[in-house]
Amino acid sequence: MTSRLAEVAQKVGVSEATVSRVLNGRPGVSESTRTAVLTALDVLGYERPTQLRGERARLIGLVLPELQNPIFPAVAEVVGGALAQRGFTPVLCTRTAGGLSESDYVTMLLDQHVSGVVFAGGHFAEDEAPHEHYHLLRERGIPVVLFNAAVEHLELPQVSTDDAVAVEQAFAHLASLGHERIGLVLGPEDHVPSRRKLAEYRTQCEKYGRTVDETLIEHAMFALEGGQAAASRLLRVGATGIICASDPLALGAIRAVRRAGLRVPRDVSVIGYDDSAFMNCTDPPLTTVRQPIEALGRAAVTLLVNQIEGGRVAAEELLFEPELVVRGSTGSVVGRGGGVEVDGEELVEVVGE
């Protein structure tokens, strides 16, 4: 007990006697100090005294699938900053191979009496993944917001980038450059945002009077290696333009083009999705569809805090417009080896709002 008091006191910057008064429910402590002590107790992993367990900490779980894709650290930065401005402390939970699952993290967060949870890129977007932990949070009355499209039956508020608009912008750009064989690299088949992108791809093929060629559609794991393998298959069926469902997939596609002895964009044009960090510094700079992460993150926090404060938030999806950012990885085509090369120069053209 003495070591616990000392550790909490040091973290908050108060005396051990003050911590003791808070834990024992005694008067003489300001509300702000009391809140800080309880939050420190939660962050350090100590159980609250029985009489205080009914009170939730001002902690918010932020559950991410990984940190290797730069888009997820960007989400964490925006959401974490917005939470801090509202007086909440984010608890970052990242799934790793052989590590804790989403369900494990939910159990841990419930033990810490969190005020709410934000999920980004999680099992909620996968039809075949387990979803029981989302239902558990609903049953416990814990506010939840999902970052990007989810399976239909969860009935939780969502903030999402409009996947249909993203593909519409990318397809129109490649078509305007003369590309006839436009390939598509998506995530797993049960991934909801990928399904939406695929549906719009089919719509765009119809709009431009083209028969949907199933050999130009590839599913892959969301990683550079997945993009490389999928793009290699697309190159074998004559794709000259490739739309990818993430920036790492697009970087893998560029690697596949080079391994095939071809050049981007002279022979093959590549478009990514996210506009994550440093995509304007790649060789060539990557044309990509930018997700409005700042707007999405702030909207997610607003929806979450409204729930925490007792407001009614509908279990609906807010759709945000993406932007096509044209850089050096796309160019016009008249056949492989005969296109226009951009020589790595960034062409800044933003389409959308």
Tens-place pLDDT, residues 76-88? 999 999 999 988 9
Long-range contacts of 229-235 (CB under 8 A, 24+ apart): 229/256, 230/185, 231/183, 231/185, 231/256, 231/257, 231/270, 232/256, 232/259, 232/260, 234/183, 234/185, 235/260, 235/262, 235/268
Mean pLDDT of the chain: 89
Read off the pLDDT band of 43 (50, 70, 90): confident
Quick one: pLDDT at residue 112? 83
pLDDT band at 7 (very low <50, low <70, confident <90, very high): confident
pLDDT tens for each residue of 151-201: 988 999 999 999 999 999 999 999 999 999 999 999 999 999 999 999 999
d(C-alpha 142, C-alpha 61), whole Å: 11
> Higher model confidence: residue 4 or residue 342?
4
Q: What is the pLDDT of residue 270?
A: 98
Query: Lowest mean pLDDT: which of 143-147, 200-204, 217-221, 347-351?
Result: 347-351
Q: Report the pLDDT value the prediction gives residue 44, as an integer from 0 to 100.
A: 78
Q: What predicted TM-score, i.e. pTM, was given to this entire model? A: 0.81
Burial class (CB in 10 A: 0-12, 13-18, 19+), 219: middle
Residue 58 has phi, psi (to 5 degrees) of -90, 50
pLDDT at residue 312, rounded to an integer:
87
What does the pLDDT look like over 309-347, one tens digit per residue?
A: 888 899 999 999 999 999 999 999 865 543 333 333 444
- Mean pLDDT, residues 37-45 taken together: 78
The burial class, CB within 10 Å (0-12 / 13-18 / 19+), for 54 is exposed
Burial of 23 (0-12, 13-18, 19+ CB in 10 A): buried
Model confidence band, residue 125 (pLDDT cutoffs 50, 70, 90): very high
Residue 58 or 134, more confident: 134
- Torsion (CA) 150, 155, 160, 166 in degrees, nearest 10: 60
The pLDDT value recorded for residue 1 is 56
Question: How many residues comprise the chain?
Answer: 353
Which of 59, 26, 20, 17 has its CA nearest to residue 40? 59
Structure tokens at 218: 């590839």
Residue, of 350 and 221, whose pLDDT is higher: 221
Q: Which residue has the higher pLDDT, 160 or 5?
A: 160
CB-count burial class (<10 Å; 0-12, 13-18, 19+) for 56? middle
Cα 137–Cα 140–Cα 146 angle in degrees, nearest 5: 25
**What is the percentage of the chain residues whose pLDDT exceeds 90?**
71
| Cα 120 to Cα 123: distance, rounded to the nearest angstrom | 9
**Are the C-beta atoms of 187 and 209 separated by less than 8 Å?**
no
Structural element, H or E, at residue 159: strand 158-161
Amino acid of residue 201: Y
Side chain identity at residue 141, one-letter code: G
Contact 178, 332 (CB under 8 A): yes
Residue 50 has pLDDT above 60, yes or no: no
Q: What is the mean pLDDT of residues 201-209?
A: 97
Closest CA to 83 of 143, 123, 134: 143
CA atoms lying within 13 Å on the CB side of residue 68: 11
What mean pLDDT comes out for the span 50-76? 82
Residue 52: pLDDT above 80? no
Lowest mean pLDDT among 3-12, 206-215, 266-275: 3-12
Kindly report, residue by residue over 94-120, the tens digit of the pLDDT.
987 677 899 999 999 998 889 999 999
Report whether 9 contacts 24 (CB < 8 A): no
Is it the case that residue 225 has pLDDT exceeding 60?
A: yes
Percentage of the chain exceeding pLDDT 70: 91
Note the pLDDT of residue 261: 97
pLDDT at 303 over 60: yes
Collect all residues with Cβ–Cβ distance below 8 Å to 302 and sequence separation of at least 6.
none
